[in-house]
């Protein structure tokens, strides 16, 4: 086989595997796990967006979840009985990208001339501000419905069919979560494609140059301020799209989904997987959504078997191990589990 | 994906004044007195912020690193002191002795914790890219928070009344003895720290290391020891601040460190990070801004925004300072460092 054929066969195999996955998982483990896969895909989309900011351009954003929140609430407000608006998802999602991108520029414009760790704190503060506003904007005019959140959001529809309803194809019943899986997989592939094209583009190379040495990048004629702003806005708009998908998928949003911990979680996917390396980020996203879920179901029974009772609350045990993993990975594999070749060389030869 | 939810801290950590009245309305006081009252509350809060901010600023001054886990050290200090105090009070010791022993225990635990964090999470990464220690710091925060939750549970703990409960009236505003004690202790501690840094041999070694670790080492300063001591001193101050916070609000909680840490960091940046005097001024100023902001935001916005936006002020101040004066109010001395 010549290389072209091999690439074609490889792609086809991956496509078939991705198509079969929810059926196999759904059959073997039940729809709960297909739902977990859906969340994993959402997080991968989110992590790929943050990867542009943190991985490519080297700007530490600790409030990334705020853009996710903006996208999610925009969807919730425009497609729910809360305001009686029922816009189609395909109009809201691009709008969400725009609005989140606008917020990105709004935050980035004044702060991007700051040094890295200051930027981290400002973005962290911004994330908290957004959350506080979501929590409190129910008086005097009820915009966000406060801590109760917004419920009964319209599901995403494709060709007039809401994805939350099961559908029968060739005698196989595809449940709602499976339909969402296919939508998310397609979008994730599209975003991976955009990410790869961006990485190799003139802008992508400018981002990497800024990450490696901002002064040198400036000396090479890169308009560092605008290029950084572009990274920030682009990352934010990915977050906005992911937020819209989340709102449509979950049909409910509330401020508590957008805490600092979520920002940290997405950041960890990028960092643990391998900053700036798209396959690594996907791996990080998968690991950090699937492992904790497995843990949630596994930790209780395992402790029961070992000690005869549940000694540690699985939820906090999960977070505990997560924190320890962060420290260990930074100490022993600072470039992540699956780093980009260029990045790896440079860190080992410090 | 469901994650442990961050409890609405903004609803919990609120002004003593606000907590008195039903529904957070607060007692009805004439307008001049509200100003004075909020000023007193703000100064109390500000002296606590200042103590925590010192921990951030000392570490930043020497290592150029944001010790993200410092807020959690403060939380551990508060909860340790509380546990020890409850134990000793049950044993029937007199209140002042209980307080002192609890404080000492909390300080010891926090100092050990600070030294461990430095050794495990920061020292191996001293030459790594800047992001690396920030991420281990986040890891340490998560670990400390979860450990605290496993040890002390998710509940709010009420703090036993160890300090005198009386209050005085000044021009119509109430100042409690607890507030007086907090302010006095904070002022004395800061004075002591200034003496330590400016007058002693250790202080000179710290200042030298902050200026240039390499040259300080040439002069015979053991940089590793100085850095560890900096963490230890900062953590001890954190323990003291933790006890003060829980005494001020009457509650302690495994989640109290996060927001406190963030605000104290804001205070440090406001004053000029790396500058001790700046941290104190920044802390006091932030406390006053917050208290006055929370007191007047309702009037200023015609009732559209309420005191539940109190926590927004800190971040707003942070963003404004970073935009217009990134080196902080008193930050000239360290502006170009690191």
ipTM for the complex shown: 0.79
- Identify the band that residue B19 occupies on the pLDDT scale cut at 50, 70 and 90: very low
Q: Which pTM does this prediction carry?
A: 0.82
Cβ atoms A61, A119 nearer than 8 A: yes
Residues on chain A touching B56 (C-beta within 8 angstroms): none
* Mean pLDDT, range A70-79, rounded to an integer: 93
CA–CA gap between residue A42 and residue A238 (Å, rounded): 11
pLDDT tens for residues B59-77? Answer: 988 888 888 899 999 999 9
Helices (H), A63-201: 65-78, 89-111, 116-136, 176-200
What's the number of CA atoms in the CB half-sphere (13 Å) around residue A270?
Answer: 30
Q: What percent of chain B has pLDDT over 90?
A: 38
Whether residue B323 lies within 8 A of chain A, CB to CB, comes out as: yes
Kindly tell me the burial class for residue B282, based on how many C-beta atoms sit within 10 Å of its own C-beta (0-12, 13-18, 19 or more).
buried
Residue B153 has pLDDT above 90, yes or no: no
Residue B281 has pLDDT above 80, yes or no: yes
Bigger pLDDT: B306 or A201? A201
Q: What is the pLDDT of residue B259?
A: 85
Select from A335, A303, A334, A332 the least CA-distant residue to A316. Answer: A303
Q: What is the pLDDT of residue B338?
A: 34
Cβ atoms B145, B72 nearer than 8 A: yes
CA–CA gap between residue A120 and residue A102 (Å, rounded): 19
pLDDT tens for residues B178-209? Answer: 899 999 999 999 999 999 999 999 999 999 99
Cβ atoms A320, A297 nearer than 8 A: no
Beta bridge partners of B175: B168
Yes or no, beta carbons of B130 and A117 under 8 Å apart: yes
Yes or no, beta carbons of B6 and A293 under 8 Å apart: no
Candidate from A30-34, A277-281, B26-30 with smallest mean pLDDT: B26-30
* Mean pLDDT, range B288-304, rounded to an integer: 79
Q: Distances in Å between the alpha carbon of A130 and those of A101, A134, A255?
A: 15, 6, 9
- Dihedral angle sign, alpha carbons of residues A102, A107, A109, A112: negative
Residue A246 has pLDDT above 70, yes or no: yes
The Cα of A5 is separated from the nearest Cα of chain B by a number of Å equal to 39
Closest CB from A36, A132, A334 relative to B312: A132
Helices (H), chain B: 9-12, 16-20, 31-63, 70-91, 95-117, 131-152, 177-199, 201-211, 213-218, 223-249, 256-271, 276-300, 310-324
Residue B335 has pLDDT above 70, yes or no: no
The Cα of A238 is separated from the nearest Cα of chain B by a number of Å equal to 18
Cβ atoms A122, A114 nearer than 8 A: yes
Task: Count how many domains chain A has.
Answer: 1
Yes or no, beta carbons of B1 and A43 under 8 Å apart: yes
Beta bridge partners of B174: B169
The Cα of A111 is separated from the nearest Cα of chain B by a number of Å equal to 6
Kindly tell me the burial class for residue A331, based on how many C-beta atoms sit within 10 Å of its own C-beta (0-12, 13-18, 19 or more).
middle
**B173: helix, strand or coil:** strand
Residues on chain A touching B128 (C-beta within 8 angstroms): 330, 334, 350
* Mean pLDDT, range A95-99, rounded to an integer: 94
Give which of A126, A327, A344 to mutate to test B binding, by max B Cβ within 10 Å.
Answer: A327
Candidate from A59-63, A141-145, B184-188 with smallest mean pLDDT: A141-145
pLDDT tens for residues B215-270? Answer: 998 999 998 999 999 999 999 999 999 999 998 888 888 888 888 988 898 898 88
For residue A64, report the phi and psi dihedrals to the nearest 5 degrees.
Answer: -60, -30
CA–CA gap between residue A263 and residue A276 (Å, rounded): 17
Beta bridge partners of B325: none
Candidate from A24-28, A276-280, B5-9, B149-153 with smallest mean pLDDT: B5-9
Listed in sequence order, the residues at least 6 apart from B220 whose beta carbon sits closer than 8 Å to its beta carbon are none
Cβ atoms B251, B243 nearer than 8 A: no
CATH number at residue A196: 1.10.3470
Residues on chain B touching A350 (C-beta within 8 angstroms): 127-128
Q: What percent of chain A has pLDDT over 70?
A: 94
Q: What is the widest separation between alpha-carbon atoms in chain B?
A: 63
Give which of A334, A343, A346 to mutate to test B binding, by max B Cβ within 10 Å.
Answer: A334
- Identify the band that residue A350 occupies on the pLDDT scale cut at 50, 70 and 90: very low
CA–CA gap between residue A46 and residue A40 (Å, rounded): 10
Q: What is the pLDDT of residue B25?
A: 41
- The bridge status of strand A157-158 relative to strand A161-162 is antiparallel
The Cα of A47 is separated from the nearest Cα of chain B by a number of Å equal to 14
- Dihedral angle sign, alpha carbons of residues B116, B120, B126, B132: negative
Q: What is the pLDDT of residue B3?
A: 40
The Cα of B279 is separated from the nearest Cα of chain A by a number of Å equal to 16
Whether residue B121 lies within 8 A of chain A, CB to CB, comes out as: yes
Residue B305 has pLDDT above 80, yes or no: no
Q: What is the pLDDT of residue B47?
A: 94
Yes or no, beta carbons of A326 and B136 under 8 Å apart: yes
- In chain A, which among 153-212 make CB contacts under 8 A with chain B? none
**B93: helix, strand or coil:** coil
**A327: helix, strand or coil:** helix
Whether residue B139 lies within 8 A of chain A, CB to CB, comes out as: yes
Q: What is the widest separation between alpha-carbon atoms in chain A?
A: 69
Kindly tell me the burial class for residue A219, based on how many C-beta atoms sit within 10 Å of its own C-beta (0-12, 13-18, 19 or more).
exposed
Whole domain around residue A326: which residue ranges?
3-348
Q: What percent of chain B has pLDDT over 70?
A: 87
Residues on chain A touching B8 (C-beta within 8 angstroms): 135, 147
**B175: helix, strand or coil:** strand
Residue A214 has pLDDT above 70, yes or no: yes
CA–CA gap between residue A129 and residue B311 (Å, rounded): 8
Whether residue A350 lies within 8 A of chain B, CB to CB, comes out as: yes
- Identify the band that residue A137 occupies on the pLDDT scale cut at 50, 70 and 90: confident
Domain boundaries, chain B: 30-334
Select from A207, A212, A213 the least CA-distant residue to A234. Answer: A207
Closest CB from B120, B134, B303 relative to A60: B134
* Mean pLDDT, range A13-31, rounded to an integer: 81
Residues on chain B touching A124 (C-beta within 8 angstroms): 262
Closest CB from A129, A259, A323 relative to B142: A323
CA dihedral B161, B165, B171, B173 (to 10 degrees): 30
Q: What is the pLDDT of residue A116?
A: 66
Closest CB from A43, A319, A330 relative to B125: A330
The mean predicted confidence, pLDDT, of chain B is: 82
Closest CB from A36, A110, A323 relative to B146: A323
* Mean pLDDT, range A22-35, rounded to an integer: 82
Q: What is the pLDDT of residue B7?
A: 37
**Which class would CATH give B30-334?**
mainly alpha
- In chain A, which among 127-146 make CB contacts under 8 A with chain B? 128-129, 132-133, 135-136, 139-140
The Cα of A200 is separated from the nearest Cα of chain B by a number of Å equal to 24
CA–CA gap between residue B134 and residue B173 (Å, rounded): 43
Q: Distances in Å between the alpha carbon of A42 and those of A49, A163, A239, B312?
A: 11, 16, 10, 29
Select from A153, A137, A184 the least CA-distant residue to A40. Answer: A184
Query: Long-range CB contacts (< 8 A, 24+ apart) of A292-301?
Result: A292/A318, A292/A322, A292/B1, A293/A33, A293/A36, A293/B1, A295/A321
The Cα of B73 is separated from the nearest Cα of chain A by a number of Å equal to 15
CA–CA gap between residue A277 and residue B63 (Å, rounded): 30
The mean predicted confidence, pLDDT, of chain A is: 84
The Cα of B102 is separated from the nearest Cα of chain A by a number of Å equal to 27
């Amino acid at each position: 086989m010549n290389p072209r054929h091999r690439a074609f066969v490889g792609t086809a195999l991956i496509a078939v595997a991705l198509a079969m996955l929810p059926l196999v998982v759904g059959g073997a483990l039940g729809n709960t796990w297909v739902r977990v896969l859906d969340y994993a895909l959402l997080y991968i989309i989110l992590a790929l967006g943050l990867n542009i900011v943190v991985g490519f351009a080297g700007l530490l954003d600790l409030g990334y979840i705020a853009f996710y929140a903006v996208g999610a609430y925009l969807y919730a407000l425009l497609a729910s009985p809360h305001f009686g608006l029922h816009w189609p998802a395909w109009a809201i999602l691009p709008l969400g990208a725009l609005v989140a991108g606008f917020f990105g520029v709004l935050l980035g414009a004044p702060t991007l001339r700051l040094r890295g760790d200051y930027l981290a704190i400002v973005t962290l503060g911004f994330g908290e501000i957004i959350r506080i506003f979501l929590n409190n904007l129910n008086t005097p005019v009820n915009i966000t419905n406060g801590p109760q959140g917004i419920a009964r959001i319209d599901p995403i529809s494709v060709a007039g069919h809401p994805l939350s309803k099961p559908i029968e194809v060739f005698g196989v019943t595809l449940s709602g979560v499976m339909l969402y899986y296919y939508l998310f997989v397609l979008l994730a592939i599209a975003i991976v494609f955009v990410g790869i094209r961006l990485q190799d583009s003139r802008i992508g190379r400018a981002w990497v140059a800024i990450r490696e040495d901002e002064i040198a990048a400036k000396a090479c004629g890169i308009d560092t301020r605008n290029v950084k702003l572009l990274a920030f806005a682009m990352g934010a708009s990915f977050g906005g799209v992911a937020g819209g998908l989340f709102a449509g998928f979950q049909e409910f949003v509330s401020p508590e989904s957008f805490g600092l911990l979520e920002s940290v979680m997405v950041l960890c996917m990028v960092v643990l997987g391998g900053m700036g390396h798209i396959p690594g980020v996907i791996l990080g996203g998968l690991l950090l959504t699937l492992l904790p879920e497995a843990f949630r179901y596994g930790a209780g029974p395992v402790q029961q078997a070992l000690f005869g009772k549940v000694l540690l609350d699985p939820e906090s045990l999960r977070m505990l191990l997560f924190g320890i993993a962060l420290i260990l990975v930074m100490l022993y594999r600072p470039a992540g589990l699956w780093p980009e070749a260029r990045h790896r060389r440079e860190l080992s030869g410090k | 994906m469901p994650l442990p939810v961050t409890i609405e801290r903004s609803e919990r950590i609120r002004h003593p004044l606000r907590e008195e009245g039903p529904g957070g309305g607060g007692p009805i006081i004439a307008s001049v007195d509200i100003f004075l009252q909020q000023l007193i509350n703000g100064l109390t809060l500000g002296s606590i912020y200042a103590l925590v901010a010192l921990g951030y600023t000392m570490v930043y001054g020497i290592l150029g690193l944001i010790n993200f886990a410092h807020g959690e050290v403060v939380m551990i200090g508060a909860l340790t002191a509380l546990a020890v105090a409850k134990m000793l009070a049950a044993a029937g010791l007199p209140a002042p002795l209980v307080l002192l022993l609890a404080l000492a225990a909390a300080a010891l635990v926090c100092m050990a914790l600070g030294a461990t964090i430095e050794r495990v999470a920061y020292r191996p990464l001293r030459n790594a890219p800047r992001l690396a220690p920030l991420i281990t710091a986040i890891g340490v925060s998560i670990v400390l928070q979860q450990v605290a939750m496993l040890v002390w549970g998710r509940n709010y703990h009420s703090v036993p009344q160890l300090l005198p409960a009386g209050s005085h009236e000044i021009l119509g505003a109430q100042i409690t003895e607890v507030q007086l004690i907090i302010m006095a202790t904070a002022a004395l501690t800061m004075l002591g720290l200034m003496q330590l840094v400016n007058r002693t041999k250790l202080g000179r070694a710290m200042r030298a290391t902050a200026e240039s670790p390499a040259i300080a080492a040439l002069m015979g300063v053991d940089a590793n020891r100085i850095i560890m001591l900096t963490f230890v001193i900062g953590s001890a101050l954190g323990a003291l601040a933790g006890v003060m916070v829980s005494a001020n609000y009457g509650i302690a909680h495994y989640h109290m460190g996060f927001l406190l840490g963030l605000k104290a960091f804001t205070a440090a940046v406001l004053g000029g990070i790396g500058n001790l005097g700046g941290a104190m001024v920044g802390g006091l100023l932030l406390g006053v801004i917050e208290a006055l902001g929370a007191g007047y935001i309702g009037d200023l916005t015609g009732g559209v925004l309420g005191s539940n936006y109190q926590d927004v002020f800190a971040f707003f101040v942070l963003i404004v300072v970073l935009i217009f004066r990134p080196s902080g109010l008193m930050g000239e001395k360290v502006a170009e460092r690191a």
